[in-house]
Amino acid sequence: MPQGKTKMIGVLAYANVEPYQEQPGEEYMNEKQLAHFKKILEAWRNQLREEVDRTLHHMQDEAANFPDPVDRAAQEEEFSLELRTRDRERKLIKKIEKTLVKVQEDDFGFCDSCGVEIGIRRLEARPTADLCIDCKTLAEIKERQMAG
């Protein structure tokens, strides 16, 4: 890899964008940063929608009424796994769309619980994050305690 180039991973790769380079004294969640995250979120949503469409076409093309019960069961299990994955992706698409509304309303990038900045790097890793790392950690601890 050439020196100075960073490897794009995760949602940054979907949008084909480099990690955001903050400028000294730059205001948090200014128009440039919001546009950066809007591009990432829209690309991620589009990629997920394509996966949903691809699964639908795959299932329509591959659907067969196998006479062998083992073959039929294997196909049903494969389709069941695909449908569960697509269901999770549909929920994620809804969360991405909710996050895009926050970007549009200039309410993106701040913790829903305590109001502090979530941070550029955390948001690039998880653009739908709505809690800062401290509040998320506390929520996970509480969740584990409630689970027993």
pLDDT in tens, 113-144: 999 999 999 999 999 999 999 999 999 999 99
- How many angstroms separate the CA atoms of 97 and 42, rounded? 8
Question: What percent of the chain shows pLDDT beyond 70?
Answer: 91
Give the mean model confidence (pLDDT) for residues 1-11.
56
Which among 98, 92, 124, 97 is positioned nearest to 112, based on CA atoms? 98
Is residue 28's pLDDT more than 90? yes
- How many angstroms separate the CA atoms of 15 and 75, rounded? 34
> At CA 91, angle to CA 85 and CA 46, rounded to 5?
85
- How many angstroms separate the CA atoms of 99 and 79, rounded? 30
Contacts for 81 with CB less than 8 Å, ≥ 6 apart:
none
- How many angstroms separate the CA atoms of 9 and 22, rounded? 19
Is residue 6's pLDDT more than 60? no
Length of the chain: 148
Is residue 7's pLDDT more than 50? yes
pLDDT for 81-91, tens place per residue? 888 888 999 99
Provide the mean pLDDT of the chain. 88
Residue 8 — very low, low, confident or very high, per pLDDT cuts 50/70/90? low
pLDDT for 44-68, tens place per residue? 999 999 988 887 777 777 767 777 8
CATH 1.20.120.910 fits 11-16+28-147, yes or no: yes
- How many angstroms separate the CA atoms of 35 and 61, rounded? 39
Asked if residue 39 lies in contact with residue 17, where contact means CB atoms within 8 angstroms, the answer is yes
